[in-house]
Amino acid sequence: MTIKVDLAAPLRLADLRVAAGPVTVVFGDEVRARVATGRTFLGKALGDDRAIYGATTGFGALVGYAGRADQRDQADNTLAHLGAGQGPDLAPDVVRATLLVRAWSLARGASGVSPHVIDALAAMLGTTFTPAMPRFGSVGASGDLIPLGAAAQALRGRGHAYVDGVRMPAADALTKACLEPLPLDGRDALALVNGTSLTTAALGLALDRVRTSHRVVQTLTCLLADLLGCDPQFLDPALLAAYGHPGAIEVGHAMRAASAGLRESGTRPLQEPYSIRCAPQLLGAAEDALRYVDGVVAADLGGVSDNPLFFPADDKVVHGGNFFGQPAAFAADVLTMVIAQVGNLAERQLDLLVDPGRNGGLPPMLAAGPGQQHGLQGVQLASTALIAEIRRDSVPASLQSLPTNLHNQDVIPLGTQAALRALDQAELLRLITGSLGLGLRQAVHVGARRPTAVGCDRTLRALEEIAPIDPDRPLDSDVRRTADILEELEISLISHSYGERRDA
């Protein structure tokens, strides 16, 4: 099946996901005409001897000096000094999502970019060609200059790139992917780098993954309550309506649906520990926070991140700060807080589940033969380490502003660091949910009751694809596979729910 992304349509999180593989990027006559109009206006403005940042000037703190007279040389003037990134290459799916976001922004026609630049980005995304972009070097102000500069150079055949996952010189990669080196002038080069497309792409991908984990933890909380025989009154709709927070009301509704039919055992205390009883309030607060992040990502995906911008209808070239990634920086830091607290919840639930003093008398560590076997002991240790890693790295990046670039950039948002960190932590959260899911699967093997709720039983049956831990074995791959199963289950449930709503 051919996967298409239309640059005339709004960009969505789903588009960022599919950009990981070859994708057909299309843009029709209306978009092409809009881009051509912006490019023609750039030529007129240059002909009028207007001062245009990056086309007639130096860059950053050197804006007061003239740039190179030849616009092709000005491209080198833009990109050469940005070859200063360090660290490992970014993951290919992040790089390709970044360049899709950049193509969409340029396709608005406000950047004065040559139409062939968007053609080249579209052609690249239709192959496995992926520029090698360094992890470190962007402060999220004036755009993600250094990583996007590496991408622009790779498209020209300089630096390095990947084809079919193999790293090689960019010139060789272009040949292997049947792509031509991209010719650039000064405005084209600056337009490719002077936006926060990496920050936006990383934040969008992180949000997408955290939203899935958030739903998984709701599902696993219901399964935990069912296996233990908890009284489900902590999900009572009147209770949560009285709480008054929209997220808690929505999460409670979803959890009641997942646990419909749950029958309490009568052996549990009147009030469960907070990791069960307060789950709808905690996960509901996370939902409210995620809605804020949703709005920031939607605005970033729908906006133009560049400087200057060109408005032909008004005969204006406007210099400003649309490359300043402060909204994404705040949103990524909020996302990190959500990851940390949802991760705390899942890790505490696993701790409860392996403790015979709180799990209804199941064996310690859910070991099939305690002492002779150790069940979830290693997995719980690893989960503690994972949540500690998340918490240790949760200091807000958006508060770390410091001046650079001769105080031209005297305040900076550091959104790139915040977004990439959230993306890293989203993967750790996924592993914690996989650990909890593995524990719930093992609990039934060592004596917990079968679920009484239809939805909880469906979740357990999916988890029973994993063999019980009896005898002990290395569980690293089982944790990852459990996380995959839970994600696949959530995706299928969302698709089913969407189909029901559509049929109605």
* pLDDT value, residue 498: 41
* pLDDT value, residue 403: 78
Dihedral sign for Cα 402, 407, 413, 414, please. Answer: negative
**Do residues 335 and 422 lie in contact, with contact meaning Cβ atoms separated by under 8 Å?**
yes
- pLDDT under 50 in the chain at which residues? 498-504
What region, left, alpha or beta, does residue 224 occupy, with left being phi > 0 and alpha being psi -120 to 50 degrees?
Answer: alpha
* pLDDT value, residue 253: 97
**Do residues 442 and 469 lie in contact, with contact meaning Cβ atoms separated by under 8 Å?**
yes
pLDDT digits (tens, 9 = 90+) for 251-281: 999 999 999 999 999 999 999 999 999 999 9
In this structure, which long-range contacts are made by residues 252-256, counting pairs with CB atoms below 8 Å and at least 24 apart in sequence?
A: 252/280, 252/284, 254/215, 254/218, 255/218, 255/221, 255/222, 255/279, 255/280, 255/283, 256/232
Cis link prior to 471 (omega < 30° from 0)? yes
Is 86 strand, coil or helix?
A: strand
Q: Give 447's DSSP letter.
A: T
Please tell me the class of the 202-310+326-499 domain. Answer: mainly alpha
At residue 413, φ and ψ (nearest 5 deg) are -85, -25
What Rg value do the Cα atoms of the chain yield, rounded? Answer: 26
**Do residues 415 and 143 lie in contact, with contact meaning Cβ atoms separated by under 8 Å?**
no
Q: Retrieve residue 367's tokens.
A: 């070991």
Q: Retrieve residue 286's tokens.
A: 């996370």
CATH 1.10.275.10 maps onto the chain at 4-195
What residues are paired with 57 via a beta bridge? Answer: 66
Alpha carbons 23 and 433: distance in angstroms, whole number: 31
Alpha carbons 421 and 409: distance in angstroms, whole number: 22
* pLDDT value, residue 500: 44
Cis link prior to 308 (omega < 30° from 0)? yes
Q: Dump the DSSP string for 462-473.
A: HHTTSPP-SS--
Alpha carbons 232 and 222: distance in angstroms, whole number: 9
Q: Retrieve residue 342's tokens.
A: 């949802």
* Helix or strand holding residue 334 (H, E): helix 326-353
pLDDT digits (tens, 9 = 90+) for 27-78: 999 999 999 999 999 999 988 988 888 888 877 777 777 878 777 778 888 8
Q: Retrieve residue 181's tokens.
A: 């080196």
Is 142 strand, coil or helix?
A: coil
CATH 1.20.200.10 maps onto the chain at 202-310+326-499
Q: Give 364's DSSP letter.
A: G
Residues serving a catalytic function are 53
**Do residues 132 and 89 lie in contact, with contact meaning Cβ atoms separated by under 8 Å?**
yes
Is 67 strand, coil or helix?
A: coil
Task: Estimate to the nearest angstrom the gap between the alpha carbon of 153 and the chain centroid.
Answer: 25
- Residue with structure tokens 């002991």? 377
* pLDDT value, residue 81: 87
Dihedral sign for Cα 195, 198, 201, 204, please. Answer: negative
Query: In terms of DSSP bridges, do strands 309-311 and 316-318 run parallel, antiparallel, or are they unpaired?
Result: antiparallel
Establish how many alpha carbons lie within 13 A of residue 80's alpha carbon, considering only the half-sphere containing its beta carbon: 7
The arrangement of secondary structure in 4-195, i.e. its CATH architecture, is: Orthogonal Bundle (1.10)
